[in-house]
Amino acid sequence: MTLANELLPTAPAKLAVESVSKTFRTARNAVHALDQVSLQVSEGEFVCLVGPSGCGKSTLLSIIAGLEKPDAGRVLADGLPVDRPGRDRMVLFQEHALFPWLDVFDNLMFGLKLKPGLTAAERREVALYYLQLVGLERFAKSNIHELSGGMKQRVALARALAPNPKVLLMDEPFAALDALTREQLYGDIQRIWAERKKTIVFVTHNVREAACLGDRVILFSPNPGRVQEQFRVDLPRPRDINSPELAGYATKIMRALKGHLTSETEELAE
């Protein structure tokens, strides 16, 4: 593998979730997290999963990542069953999960050391390329505690992108950030998605965030988690989260979410 080939965008994967169910059991009770969830994600599509707490969005993301196994059903990536984590599917969590004893550059190098086919010098070039992509090349030798929250998430994003995965799985990565930093990162992730051509599955509670980022927004309802409705967001990119057009989509999705929650509450009351 040459460095030039490594830095080329990979062909994005398509994902298929087929009748996935998952229950978590303890000595006292059982939580039915997902029930017969099926969905398709096209190659290079940016899909957002939205719903209230407890609707199984993060559980589904963990199953797609290979970190959890479903009780029933399966996930396919490019037609192959997902049964373990892999370099083709990288995860970005709400917490940055960076190693505090390593500087910014070495956090990126940590994962790259396990990637075959590259020399040490090529790994360093790849790490620098992704730091430049997220605008942090000047902070390569900074310690993690010296960075702001937004900068830490940029480093975590660069580290997830560095192995050049086909799929990026993002679990509420901007939830803990202030509004201004989130807005800057919305622009960054749209630009990087366009440049690197990844398939992205993005979990969020924020309906406006989902409408800003997603080609498609998939609405989940809880107890147990099920797909209730899907919305295609036909707006040009890059999108401004404060635009009136985007607000219209967000309002439509929120209205549907409230409607499903109201219906479910009435069913439980009966």
Phi-psi category of 172—alpha, beta or left, where left has phi over 0 and alpha has psi -120 to 50?
A: left
Q: CB–CB of 246/212 below 8 Å?
A: yes
pLDDT tens readout for residues 189-244: 999 999 888 999 999 999 999 999 999 999 998 888 999 999 999 999 999 999 99
pLDDT of 270 reads: 43
Residue 248: CB atoms within 10 A of its CB come to 12
pLDDT tens per residue across span 18-72: 999 999 988 888 888 999 999 999 999 999 999 988 889 999 999 999 999 999 9
What does the alpha-carbon distance between residue 210 and residue 217 come to, in Å, rounded to a whole number?
Answer: 6
Q: What is the pLDDT of residues 246-265, one digit of tens each?
A: 999 999 999 998 887 766 54
Is residue 205 within 8 Å of 52, Cβ to Cβ?
yes
Does 99 have pLDDT greater than 80?
yes
pLDDT tens-digit readout, 104-134: 999 999 878 878 888 889 999 999 999 999 9
Q: Give dist(CA 64, CA 149) in Å, integer.
A: 27
Three-state DSSP state, 222: coil
Distances from the Cα of 215 to the Cα of 40, 119, 173, 195, angstroms: 13, 37, 18, 16
H-run or E-run covering 23: strand 15-25
Q: What is the mean pLDDT of residues 151-155?
A: 92
- pTM given for the model: 0.91
